[in-house]
Structure 1
Amino acid sequence: MKAMKRSTLATLINATLFSAVAGTSFSTLAADEAPAAKNNQLEVIQITARKRVENAQEVPVAVSALQGDNLDAYSSAGMDIRFMNAKIPSLSIESSFGRSFPRFYVRGLGNTDFDLNASQPVSLVVDEVVQENAILKGFPVFDVARVEVLRGPQGTLFGRNTPAGLVKFDTVKPSQEFEGYGSVSYGSRGAVDFEGAVGGGLTDRLSTRVSVLWQEKDDYIDNRAPGFEQDDVLGGYTEKAARIQFLYEGDDFTGLFNYHVRDMDGKPIAFRGNAIKAGTNDLVDNFEHDVVYHDAASRATQQVESQGASLKLEWDINDLTLTSISAWESAEIYSRADIDGGYGASYLPDMGPGFIPFYSESADGIPDQDQYTQELRLSSNYAGDVNFQVGVFYFDEALTIENFSYDTYGSTPGELNGYVIQQQDTKAWAVFGSLDYTITDDLKITAGLRYSDDEKEFSANRTLSPAGGGALFLTENPSDDHVSWDLSANYKINDDVNWYARVANSFRAPSIQGRILFGDEVTVAESETVTSFETGIKSDVLDGQGRVNATVFYYTMDDQQLTAVGGGANFNRLVNADKTTGYGFELDTEWVLTDNLNATFNLSYNNTELKDKDLAVDVCAQCTVTNSLNSAGQAVLDGNSLPHAPEWISNLTLRYSREVADGEFFTYADVSYRSEINYFLYESVEFEGKPLTEVGLRAGYAWAQGDNEYEVSAFVRNMFDEQQSIGAIDFNNNTAMVNEERYIGAEFKVSFF
């Protein structure tokens, strides 16, 4: 390894600090770890954030990308989509379901609602198809070419429910070249992870690609509740997924067909009763990751099935491109768990660990969900100063949800004692347009406009009540329309520096909460709207050996949709906050430090604040609330930050490689950090998550032989085994969810051509 020169290091530090202090550089760093070019310069990163292939450094959109070694390393250890948490500026991801229901937060904006019709202000788009339901968003990540995270409102080109931003996945597409790969890894707790793909030309114009994933981990968590002892009862899963694509390439026409399927059979995330020490946010002294104390662990289960298909047709007509994307997505889930995380109750002979006011065993399911989308757009490819995109979009979803409650200590343990069925039908349509105008060779502006119309028909039918409330049938039919818009400018200061500014507006359509097992009302949140201002610079430095990109932003959100989760009433309610403000900065840097050493560093700061003096919510049963309370004993939220909104997120990666014999030895290290978070709308001692730092390391050897390339590696995630709560349930006792323990594994991969 060549020694890194002091002057290079000094330049790196100075440039990074200067950009952070100046606060004028906008973040579009693609965190790509592909090899540097022959002259040791960083590669040009191509993205599709504006539905065109463009240089990331020239796009006036806040977008970061993951690909190459970054993507491979982060997703090691059989991780689900939550592997992206704190790996990209201003992005965090969490779930109270485990592998099946990810909740995304960008710049502090997200949704903690765990009902299966919950909408999110961060949209997920996979292969240009929106994945609206949260279960669809949990589809495994494999054979993916690139992940893009677009921060800030994306309401013009991507439409409804994007006031916070958008996460965009692009899978590897078929080509005429025969190629593929296969990899298998084995790790902690007997986990096995296999994925592979193969593709090539079937005819001169038709090609295909088949991608598969199989992941398995045995149950390893023991149940030690008295009278319910059982070894290896929770923690395991079997995950299978596949994708097949066909690409037809004509002279002026291309057609891409995509079919994908998922089957997951496992256990839900482990809830741990009284795992948080009262009066602190520490885990209890005797905490053990592989032990729970449940009275319903033997009945815990989670099954997810989903499938979908899309057809993208594209015609080139002179200087115009006509694109049609037709898609169908469908998902089913049944998830049952011991929600209180303990055994017994205060009115039963035994209880534990600690004080359990009442037991809670429940389940949620989607027996039927179908989503249909259609997009038709026309894009120009003129050589002149003006280009445009116009289009129409249609969305139709039929969703059925079931809520179950069970009597853990009845005459028949686990017998059903509560049932609600919800039905929600959503129809939305939009027309949109975007115009790019080159004023001079250095100055370009973009303006976008979208009209959206959204309507829901909802019913909740309770036929059995666990609380003696009787049968109940309620309906709601909210609707709204909105004009979203954005205006941006990109100015080329010189060949290496681009300045941009953007102002954008978007909305999230009305949301409904109809989980009426323990309550007698359906709540509706009105549409929320956001206006965001941001400006920044995207710069290449050190003769192309570094990138320093950053942004500063400020937004105001009116009528923000919030979920008052739990509280002593064990019931969710939707509310609107009068106003929410947020501001901060994001910094992305990437460096070629030496011939052998590459690095990335990113940092974000997000300050969020609720502004509503009249907004108050119910609080926890046993925690120490630090908010002021009103006369009804509710916490007043005015001035609080948003839940699951860390002020600081940072990530550092280093990749070292060196030629050894006929191959390459490499090591890859990453460190991610997020600061403390509140789990709920109110603030309390126990339910403030501590700062979390996780370290990963991957080392291996790669070599070529014949037409194949081989790689063998060992890796560790959460190297220092940092264990702490990452979520909680507040209606009963101090029940916690805990982050994944340290994972050690080894992988073998072969790529063939």
Structure 2
Amino acid sequence: MKAIKRSTLAVLVNAALFSTVASTSFTSHAEEQEAKSNKLEVIQVTARKRVENAQEVPVSVSALQGDGLDAYSSAGMDIRFMNAKIPSLSVESSFGRTFPRFYVRGLGNTDFDLNASQPVSLVVDEIVQENPILKGFPVFDIERIEVLRGPQGTLFGRNTPAGLVKFDSVKPSQEFDAYSAVSYGSKGSIDFEGAVGTGLTDRLSTRVSLLVQDRPDYIDVKAPGFEKEDSLGGYNEKAMRVQFLYEGDDFTGLLNYHKRDLDGRPIAFRANLIEKGSNNINPKYDNDVVYHDAASRSTQQVDTQGLSLKLEWDLKEHTVTSITGWESAEIYSRADVDGGYGAAFIGFQGPGVIPFPSETADAIPEHDQYTQELRLSSNFSGDMNYQVGVFLYEEDLVIESFSFDTLSWDANANNYGLQNGYAVQDQSTSAWALFGSFDYTVSDDLKVTAGIRYSNDEKEFYAKRTKSPVGAADFLEGSANPDDSHVSWDLSATYKYTDDINLFARIANGFRAPSVQGRILFGDEVTVAKSETTNSIEAGIKSDVLDGQGRVNATVFYYQMNDQQLTAVGGGANFNRLINADKTTGYGIELDSEWVLTDELNATFNLSYNKTELSDKDLAVQVCAQCTVTNKVENGLAVLDGNSLPHAPEWIANATLRYTKELEGGDFFVYSDVSYRSEIDFFLYEAVEFKGEALFEAGVRAGYQWLAGDNEYEASVFVRNLFDEQVVIGGVDFNNNTGMLNEERYIGAEFKVRFF
């Protein structure tokens, strides 16, 4: 079904008036009663590594928590549920439930190589998740998600020139607290999560959190000769987190161990899904059917784990914080990338034209990341406070890339799909930084902050190919050893205009360290992108209105990025190359609002507009094999000057409404939400077929919540993608007009119990 055709304004008006769910969160019956005071709760964030009121922080920040977070992440959703749920944030993936790619204010990275860096950093429980596979850890038992927009280089370091996504899990406490939730939904999906926390001694407490998600395969294969029911689409996801918290008189220590195990299928590639000459979905498309000849070998197996230790000493006027982290990731993902069967040169092919078969796999057999931060923070009662620290980062990474000839018999495996290509990458990264942030209270109304960070980054990279799948030399070696150092900085001010209105302004500089693209399975070149730097300026207002019943925050911003790192993905040569754009500019607005409409009704409405533009007259890339390019093409290359960035929607909007009614000793509730993102380009060049249509999605959750004894119970039904709107969200451009789709409608029911 095509996306609803309506104007942006119509979508936003309908979202504001008729949609529903509550990001304003109240997570227990007792909290529901407190909400009747008609006041919005204070949202605490740690955007500056201190617990602060979000309304007083001179950063454009949004937070998801409580029931809003629960509603968005229900139905077995992976981290991609965040797409278009926060202003200026979009999320996509060509790997399915892993390897999410984040875009903030239009800045991101479309590269699908397992060595790809991103300008949006992900920090989970204060540990940076650098490798893209680490970024896909499931969302469960989370206290809060924060999205910090704009460069965050001073406190969070390199690779944050666009912003930061920050996850904080629920921490242990002395009080007993537990919950268990199970849901059943479309396609036989089962979703279980639970947690239990309690004090073990007067000073030691623990919390154990668990997630299990399971969906059987449901996509049938109907390629002639390869027919099989229920072959793709399924997954079994297990994750856990164990924490121990020690609280002394002037010392705390938090140990966190977490692990993920995913055994599933990759996202379904669909050959010629997009009709040539348009971006319409082929009318023959069936969501539960594919025509793969390599479906039996498609698999995605992910294993990640990590351990962190946070130690904190309270020295009265100072706090010393040490955060040590280790993360490790392993993956093997194999897919039928051409999305069809056969090939043109053997006269047996479909659906549509399949110029050549493409079956590939990528793997990380070895990976280790070590981080150490040591920070000194002042706790003065006077006008001046500061944070200073040192940060160390080490990563060792091995990546394997495989190609298979789908049409050739593999005697060892007793199946088709003989391996015909292999390459390996080996990279070591060492980085360190010194940083400081200084706060000064000029007057009762004016506060200023200045920050500076020196970062140094070095990489040692080696790649080797021992078998070429395209007739090139089988043996090929390549290496690169880029390094760079940079000084990032920021300066911000907050002015208390009234007791309920804060004005803020911020200028900031950030950078992304040099990147290497050495996936030489199909190409012969190791490419290096030099450091990119960003200068950003923004100003905004944060206001509480209607005597605490409303909250309206707005930001305007402008940035210029020099030497932006871009990936020329695919093209007719099926090879990724790193390039630098001379200059990229962006500007826009962001609006966050929350409202207590009545004792029973709460609402939110959020909006962003982002305009991005590449400025480089000499920048040109290879184009697709079968599509209609609308850029100027010279010597077979599309000229990118003036283009907007890929996966950078101009408009993002979402709205929620939450209705609660006391009924028979409990609460009946209805949450619903809508989200909208405008059209996007999938690649650096512009093409008719690879321009993704606007995406409009809605969700509803309704149920009943009641207390019985010391426990709280909740039974609910829910639906995601209410109108079953499906659009193409990504493409493969080197072979045919292959595409991927967003999730179809999902209906489910959940039962949840909280123990106190």
Q: TM-score range by the shorter chain?
A: over 0.9
Letter in structure 2 aligned against 1:169:
F
CA RMSD, aligned part only? 1.2
* SS in structure 2 at match of 1:156: helix
Shift of 1:232: 0.5
Question: CA contact under 8 A between 1:213 and 1:240: conserved in structure 2?
Answer: yes
The counterpart of 2:74, out of the listed 56, 76, 86, is 76
Cross-structure match for 2:240: 242
- Measured in 2, the distance between the counterparts of 1:459 and 1:270 equals 32
1:419 to 419, 422, 428: 422
Give 1:31 shift: 4.3
From 499, 506, 513, the equivalent of 1:502 is: 506
C-alpha deviation, 1:69, in angstroms: 1.1
User: 2:437 corresponds to which letter in structure 1?
Assistant: S
* TM-score normalised by L of structure 1: 0.96
**Which of residues 83, 94, 115 in structure 2 aligns to 1:96?**
94
Q: How does 1:354-503 map to 2 (within 5 A)?
A: 354-412=352-410, 413-469=416-472, 470-503=474-507
2:662 to 653, 659, 662: 659
- One-letter identity of the residue aligned with 1:422: Q
Question: Which residue identity does 1:253 align to in structure 2?
Answer: F
SS at match of 2:202: coil
Paired position in structure 2 for 1:33: 25
TM-score normalized with structure 2 length: 0.95
Q: Is the 8 A contact 1:32 1:65 kept in 2?
A: no
Deviations along 1:587-625, one digit per CA (max 9) or x if unpaired, are: 011000011000000000000000000000000000000
How far apart in 2 are the matches of 1:361 and 1:286? Answer: 23
**How far apart, CA to CA, are the structure 2 residues paired with 1:317 and 1:213?**
38
Aligned to 2:253: 255
How far residue 318 of structure 1 moved from its aligned partner, in angstroms, is: 2.0
Unmatched segments (≥5 aa) in structure 1:
1-11, 18-29
Secondary structure at the residue paired with 1:298?
helix
Q: Check the 8 A contact 1:587/1:602 in 2, yes or no.
A: yes
- Aligned twin of 2:7: none
Query: Which position in structure 1 is the counterpart of 2:110?
Result: 112
Q: Contact (CA 8 Å) 1:236, 1:266: kept in 2 or not?
A: yes
Q: What one-letter code is carried by the residue in structure 2 that aligns with 1:674?
A: R
Partners of 2:229 and 2:242 lie apart in 1 by: 39
Task: Summarize the alignment of residues 491-570 of structure 1 with structure 2, pairs less than 5 Å apart.
Answer: 491-570=495-574
1:201 equivalenced with 2:202 (yes/no)? no
- Residue equivalent to 1:715: 718
Corresponding residue to 2:641 among 625, 638, 660: 638
The answer to whether the 8 Å contact 1:695/1:718 transfers is yes
1:313 maps to 311
CA distance in structure 1 between the aligned counterparts of 2:85 and 2:105, rounded to whole angstroms: 14
What letter is aligned with 2:579?
V
Alignment match of 2:219 (pick from 218, 221, 239): 221
Determine whether 1:728 maps to 2:720.
Answer: no
State the shift of 1:308 in Å. 0.3
Note the C-alpha offset of 1:724. Answer: 1.3
CA contact (8 A) 2:343 2:354 kept: yes
Equivalent residue letter for 1:193: D
Task: Report the counterpart of residue 6 of structure 2 in structure 1.
Answer: none
Amino acid across the alignment from 1:590: E
Equivalence for 1:702: 705
Deviation for aligned residue 1:411: 3.2
1:573 paired to 2:577: yes
How much does 1:33 deviate? Answer: 2.2
The alpha-carbon deviation at position 38 of structure 1 amounts to 4.8
| 1:232 equivalent in structure 2 | 230
CA shift, 1:467, in A, is 1.3
Structure-2 separation of matches of 1:384 and 1:159: 28
Letter in 1 for 2:357: Y
Alpha carbons 1:528, 1:561 under 8 Å: kept:
yes
Q: Is the CA contact 2:368–2:396 (under 8 Å) kept in the aligned structure 1? A: yes
Deviation at residue 735 of structure 1 after TM alignment = 0.2
Maintained 8 Å contact 1:31/1:64: no
Count of paired positions:
727
- Following TM superposition, by how much is the alpha carbon of 1:286 offset from its aligned partner in structure 2, in angstroms? 1.6
CA–CA separation in structure 1 for the residues paired with 2:67 and 2:403: 45
Task: Indicate the SS of the match to 2:491.
Answer: strand
1:737 corresponds to which residue?
740
Identify unmatched segments of 5+ residues in structure 2: 1-11, 27-31, 411-415
Secondary structure at the counterpart of residue 81 of structure 2: helix
Identity, % of aligned positions? 74
Distance 1:39 1:704 in 2: 21
Q: 2:190 aligns with which of 189, 192, 195?
A: 192
CA contact (8 A) 2:124 2:168 kept: yes
SS at match of 1:722: coil
Q: Which amino acid aligns with 1:494?
A: T
- Letter paired with 1:73: A
- Say whether the 8 Å CA contact 1:221–1:292 is kept in structure 2: yes
Residue-by-residue CA offset, 1:402-448 (whole Å, 9 max, x unaligned)? 00000111132111110001001000000000000000000000000
Measure the CA separation in 2 of the matches of 1:73 and 1:38. 21
Q: Give the Cα separation in 2 of the matches to 1:157 and 1:370.
A: 23
> What is the Cα deviation at residue 468 of structure 1?
2.0
Alpha-carbon offset, residue 37 of structure 1: 4.0
2:37/2:599 contact within 8 Å kept: no
Give 3-state SS (helix, strand or coil) of 2:154's partner.
coil
- Counterpart code for 2:475: A
Which residue of the partner structure matches residue 175 of structure 1?
A: 173
Query: One-letter code of the match for 2:363?
Result: G
Deviations 1:706-741 (A, max 9, x none): 110000000000011011100000000000000101
Deviation per CA, 1:289-308, whole angstroms, max 9, x where unpaired? Answer: 01101110110000000100
Equivalence for 1:21: none
Q: Do the aligned partners of 1:613 and 1:637 also contact (CA within 8 Å) in 2?
A: yes
Report if aligned partners of 2:23, 2:656 keep a CA contact under 8 Å in 1.
no
What amino acid does structure 2 have at the position aligned with 1:357?
P
Amino acid across the alignment from 1:538: K
